Amino acid sequence: MMLFLKLSLFTLIISAPGLMVSGENMITCYSDVQRLTCETGLIKVKSTVYGRTNSITCNTNRPFSEVTFTNCALRITTIADRCNGLKECELKTDLLGNPDPCFGTYKYYNTTYDCINGHRVVICEQGYSTLDCGSDSIEIINANYGRGNSRTCSNGILSSQTQNTNCYAPNTLSIVAAMCKGKKTCTVEASNTIFNDPCVGTVKYLTVSYICTREIVTCESSTATLNCGAHRIKIISANYGRTDSTTCSSGRPASQTSNKNCYTPDALNKIAARCEEQSSCEVPATNVVFSDPCFGTYKYLTIVYSCVMLVREHEASSRVFYPGFVYIERSVPVVQHFNTSNSIYIHHRCFNTFSIMMLCLKLTLLTLLIAAPGLLVSGENVITCDGDIHRLTCDRGLIWVENSLYGRTDSSICSTAHPPLQVTDTSCSTSISTIAERCNGLSACEVNTAALQTSDPCKGTYKYYDTSYSCYDAETTVICEHSYSTLECAQGGYLQIINANFGRSDSTTCSSGLPSGLTKKTNCYASNTLSTLATLCNNQQSCTVEASSTIFSDPCPNTAKYLSVSYICYEI
Ligand SMILES: *[C@@H]1O[C@H](CO)[C@@H](O)[C@H](O)[C@H]1NC(C)=O
Ligand SMILES: *[C@@H]1O[C@H](CO)[C@@H](O)[C@H](O)[C@H]1NC(C)=O
């Protein structure tokens, strides 16, 4: 336990202190590039106003006549449509094509946005993934099926199939929202049969950004109670009024429920001012709080909110509790020692075998998550049909594979265009370790399953790969071939290598200025990397490593390689 507490404290120090949710504002003069970014979390645009509401902003070198009219404000949604759900987003404003709200006036774009604790999944073509909100409801922020860069879902693919990076299926958001909005979990498939193929001949992928929300509806005169337990309230949307005739209608005359167009424009701000950052909050659904938006109508209050984590909560808790499993006090060192065969012996709680360690690690991390939001853990699942690219990714933190199965346990998954004979045997699956070996400790990992050569558990059946994994915080370093770097634990901590590879798994890392012939092989792994580094560095306070074929065997001559290492620091 000590290990993970130390680790999370360390995480807190390196991550920006304060809220993981922040409000931002960006003003960009017409024709310049508007750039929105979130250091942590995903962009959610609250509003963009195009026009001019004061005479000072963007007035440099402009004639008086172009900046004096200040009553010009057009609300636009183009920036929200393009940027919501991304971590960063750049738009050349003169290419947005917005209608001119005040001819002759020099205008600017004023965007206010939040960085929210969202989830973002990327699913390579023919893959499946499950969006999961636990007991909350899925709210889709954005989605695209197509290709926006040449790197994502490219492992082992011909470059001609990844060159088109301006490929966008316009119906993606509405289709994914219709499938998933409001559900607790939702499995989505990246496939031309669901979205129309927006760029034939290009290998595509589906990106979906979503948040988990709760909705409460409270009839007029009652009081809404918002509760986030250990986390904090973030208001997503709200209205006090009436938008249908059935909600809160029992026993009311029709005259009080027939108005379906009753809104309180500033309900969101009022509730946000009252509740945001609180762990629980009460809001009376009354005219006193909201001022009556439609006299004579019986109203109700609808609030959609999300529970987010505050980094500083970590400091408040000194005990960690995981229901039904362990109760741990911070002063008890649970991690007794590590050993170089990569197994962790955890006193009382877990077992010192490698297979159980994954479970332990997860439970321990989950345990911590309750009290230490700095150490992010999320459970993820990806399914990929045999022959396609299996892509695991962590928004924050690094991948830890819990289980990978190869086979078939369901007759509908990966069944398109396959005869019944190949998909009916659903009692076939074998647990494999290759995915864990390649992906543990990375923030994104692509494995072209066509090149895996997994031994066949059921000949004649068309199979798929099904991997469950978590994302946890750790350190990671990349060292280009022939370079040296020192892994170091601050304040007397000791190194434990989580994973390492010497080779190449993408064409961009350590490629600057190199001929493409040296970087095009992206399926290159030196199998002795982890054990070599573990011997060299585990349990040391610092460790200098060289990315060189003289230390690791050369897994791919004539390819420029790099060493990627992920590690944690523990204290005994
Ligand atoms: C930009 O928009 C925000 C929020 O709507 C507003 O408070 C601010 O005054 C605006 N700034 C300018 C320069 O228009
Ligand atoms: C290291 O772990 C292995 C199990 O994988 C165990 O057999 C061995 O005794 C452990 N070594 C030490 C020093 O505890």
One-character DSSP codes across 446-482: EEEGGGT-PPPSSTTS--EEEEEEEEE--EEEEEETT
Q: SS3 for 334-369, per residue?
A: CEEEEECCCEEEECCCCCCCHHHHHHHHHHHHHHHH
Question: Can you tell me the distance from the alpha carbon of 523 to that of 238, in angstroms, rounded to the nearest whole number?
Answer: 50
Question: Can you tell me the distance from the alpha carbon of 372 to that of 502, in angstroms, rounded to the nearest whole number?
Answer: 33
Question: Can you tell me the distance from the alpha carbon of 464 to that of 460, in angstroms, rounded to the nearest whole number?
Answer: 13
Span from the CA of 192 to the centroid of ligand 1 (angstroms):
42
Identify whether the C-beta of residue 189 lies closer than 8 Å to the C-beta of residue 385.
Answer: no
pLDDT tens, N- to C-terminus, the chain (572 residues): 333 333 332 232 222 222 334 457 788 888 877 777 776 677 888 889 999 999 988 888 899 999 999 999 999 988 888 788 877 777 778 888 889 999 999 999 998 887 777 778 888 888 888 888 888 899 888 888 998 778 788 877 788 998 887 788 888 989 999 999 999 999 898 999 999 999 999 999 998 888 888 889 999 999 999 998 877 788 888 899 999 999 999 999 999 999 999 999 889 889 999 998 788 999 999 999 999 999 999 999 999 888 765 433 322 222 222 222 222 222 222 222 222 222 222 222 232 223 333 333 433 433 333 223 334 456 678 888 898 888 888 766 677 788 899 999 999 888 888 999 999 999 999 999 889 888 877 778 888 888 888 899 999 999 999 998 877 666 677 888 888 777 877 666 777 787 788 999 888 887 777 788 998 888 888 988 988 998 999 888 888 888 888 899 899 999 999 998 887 766 55
Identify whether the C-beta of residue 351 lies closer than 8 Å to the C-beta of residue 310.
Answer: no
Span from the CA of 26 to the centroid of ligand 1 (angstroms):
9
Identify whether the C-beta of residue 443 lies closer than 8 Å to the C-beta of residue 393.
Answer: yes
**Pocket perturbation via mutation, ligand 1, pick of 29, 34, 49 by most ligand atoms within 8 A of CB:** 49
The DSSP secondary-structure symbol of 530 reads H
Span from the CA of 399 to the centroid of ligand 2 (angstroms):
25
The DSSP secondary-structure symbol of 98 reads P
The DSSP secondary-structure symbol of 57 reads T
Span from the CA of 538 to the centroid of ligand 2 (angstroms):
14
Closest C-alpha residue for ligand 2 atom 14:
339
Q: What angle do CA 250, 253, 258 make, to 5 degrees?
A: 90
CA dihedral 338, 343, 345, 350 (to 10 degrees): 150
Of 316, 421, 413, nearest to 12 by C-alpha is: 316
Closest C-alpha residue for ligand 2 atom 8:
339
Closest C-alpha residue for ligand 1 atom 4:
112
Closest C-alpha residue for ligand 1 atom 9:
53
Closest C-alpha residue for ligand 2 atom 1:
339
Q: What angle do CA 555, 556, 561 make, to 5 degrees?
A: 90
Span from the CA of 535 to the centroid of ligand 2 (angstroms):
14
Q: Which tokens belong to 250?
A: 């029992």
Identify whether the C-beta of residue 290 lies closer than 8 Å to the C-beta of residue 98.
Answer: no
**Pocket perturbation via mutation, ligand 2, pick of 335, 337, 338, 339 by most ligand atoms within 8 A of CB:** 339
Question: Can you tell me the distance from the alpha carbon of 282 to that of 149, in angstroms, rounded to the nearest whole number?
Answer: 45
Question: Can you tell me the distance from the alpha carbon of 319 to that of 401, in angstroms, rounded to the nearest whole number?
Answer: 27
- From residue 378, alpha-carbon distances to 220, 312, 365, 431 in Å are 38, 19, 10, 22
Residue 170: count other Cβ atoms within 10 Å of its Cβ.
12
Q: What angle do CA 411, 384, 439 make, to 5 degrees?
A: 140
Closest C-alpha residue for ligand 1 atom 10:
110
Identify whether the C-beta of residue 505 lies closer than 8 Å to the C-beta of residue 437.
Answer: no
Identify whether the C-beta of residue 312 lies closer than 8 Å to the C-beta of residue 260.
Answer: no
